[in-house]
Structure 1
């Protein structure tokens, strides 16, 4: 299962960085000394006094490229600030391809090659990409496994914390804004629900599924579930509707039923990126992290 693109995602891959890494937030990042694609020798100590972003990535992953592009965009907004980005790959054989990817995207990040996987082991890298933010004193601020939809928000927040622009409370407020449910929210959710049913009646299935998906975004799982069920009554083999129904079931806490229908959707869907992501969340909730990793890859 190889993901071509990840557009839809809601939560971090793992609930806490220690699930994916050998080090936890606030601990000293392990030292490293690696050769770059330019033949230079670089060490973590070379970046002391700067906020350092390390991205472990693979050349055959679209989501790795997206993470690099996000880091590039954020770095462009931080000109004049002590922030550096380092990219790390594990296969010397892919160095030329990696150099081309960076060049084609106008990225001048140092490219380090960890061919013996020493750094990978020291940092406990299990997921690609994995992005780590290290503060000026060499302490891990936090990490981002994979490349969720919230990647740019998280990376920007972690860097700002490392720079001292926000504290822990400010970071928490940035990453987890509390939104009260208002009468307007309920009216919008009801409108989306009614609209999805109307689209089903008109046999406009794509529009119906989109409206039902928006009900999930509005945290209205019951309404979304009803809408997806109506769509599936008329188009039982719709993998998009099956995936949506699985998402709604997962939101309601029915993990086993969600996995069952998501498995079915994954088999039927020629582009199952979203389906596998939802399966990953389901297995993560169930506590089967090995299976979750398999789905997220």
Structure 2
């Protein structure tokens, strides 16, 4: 009876340490989505005209990164206020990037932009890599990024981007 226990205990210990190591590795291999106060993950995406935009190249400016989809009614509803915000702050150090997170959506997005043109860049994340990098799970979802690349605010859902609270925050970040 002593021999089987001697063989089982080392196997159980080996199994325990193996599972523990895998759990620790799984917990530390991915930092998770970025949070307010953390550096915004860098990305490079192309707009509907093929021009590349890299977030880190916009350092020194306040950047609003909005994830949206053409099939999303709240996304469409907030676009006019985003257009107004972009126009209001066009002479300031402010950039608005609207990231469409639909697979193979170039034609759909171009059709949408013909109906509702925008002055700000509309980027394509057809493989949803940036959406996943930012942990976006709802549309619209927006990150406001300070001049130094740190996330200042994170908004889930549609809002009026010309409302006093958000407008004051963005102006403070621009002037501050």
Q: Per the shorter chain, which TM-score range?
A: 0.7 to 0.9
Q: Give me the whole-angstrom Cα distance separating, in 1, the residues matched to 2:156 and 2:64.
A: 13
Structure 1 residue 25: Cα displacement: 1.4
* SS at 2:86 equivalent: helix
Q: Structure 2 unaligned runs (5+)?
A: 1-31
Q: Give me the whole-angstrom Cα distance separating, in 1, the residues matched to 2:144 and 2:59.
A: 13
> Partner residue of 2:94?
83
**2:84 corresponds to 1:73:** yes
**2:113 corresponds to 1:102:** yes
Deviations 1:141-170 (A, max 9, x none): 10210114x6543432331232135xxxxx
Deviations 1:230-255 (A, max 9, x none): xxxxxxxxxxxxxxxxxxxxxxxxxx
> Partner residue of 1:56?
67
**2:134 corresponds to 1:123:** yes
Q: Give me the whole-angstrom Cα distance separating, in 2, the residues matched to 1:110 and 1:78.
A: 14
> Partner residue of 1:264?
none
Q: Structure 1 unaligned runs (5+)?
A: 1-20, 166-297
Change (3 A) 1:105 1:123: same
> Partner residue of 1:28?
39
Task: Indicate conservation of the 8 Å contact 2:62/2:173, yes or no.
Answer: yes
Q: Give me the whole-angstrom Cα distance separating, in 2, the residues matched to 1:132 and 1:158.
A: 13
Instruction: Please show how residues 271-286 of structure 1 align to structure 2 within 5 Å.
Output: none
* SS at 1:163 equivalent: helix
Q: Give me the whole-angstrom Cα distance separating, in 2, the residues matched to 1:115 and 1:94.
A: 7
Instruction: Please show how residues 202-241 of structure 1 align to structure 2 within 5 Å.
Output: none
> Partner residue of 1:135?
146
Change (3 A) 1:40 1:25: same
Which stretch of structure 1 is more off in the superposition, 40-49 or 124-133? Answer: 40-49
RMSD: 2.0
Q: Give me the whole-angstrom Cα distance separating, in 1, the residues matched to 2:154 and 2:172.
A: 13
Structure 1 residue 77: Cα displacement: 1.8
TM score, norm. by length of structure 2 = 0.73
Greater Rg by CA:
2
The structure where helix makes up a greater share of residues is 1
Q: Give me the whole-angstrom Cα distance separating, in 1, the residues matched to 2:122 and 2:87.
A: 18
Task: Indicate conservation of the 8 Å contact 2:86/2:120, yes or no.
Answer: no
The structure with higher relative contact order (CA 8 Å, sep 6+) is 2
Q: Give me the whole-angstrom Cα distance separating, in 1, the residues matched to 2:55 and 2:94.
A: 13
Q: Give me the whole-angstrom Cα distance separating, in 2, the residues matched to 1:75 and 1:158.
A: 14
Deviations 1:216-268 (A, max 9, x none): xxxxxxxxxxxxxxxxxxxxxxxxxxxxxxxxxxxxxxxxxxxxxxxxxxxxx
Task: Indicate conservation of the 8 Å contact 2:38/2:150, yes or no.
Answer: yes
Task: Indicate conservation of the 8 Å contact 1:133/1:158, yes or no.
Answer: no
Change (3 A) 1:103 1:141: farther
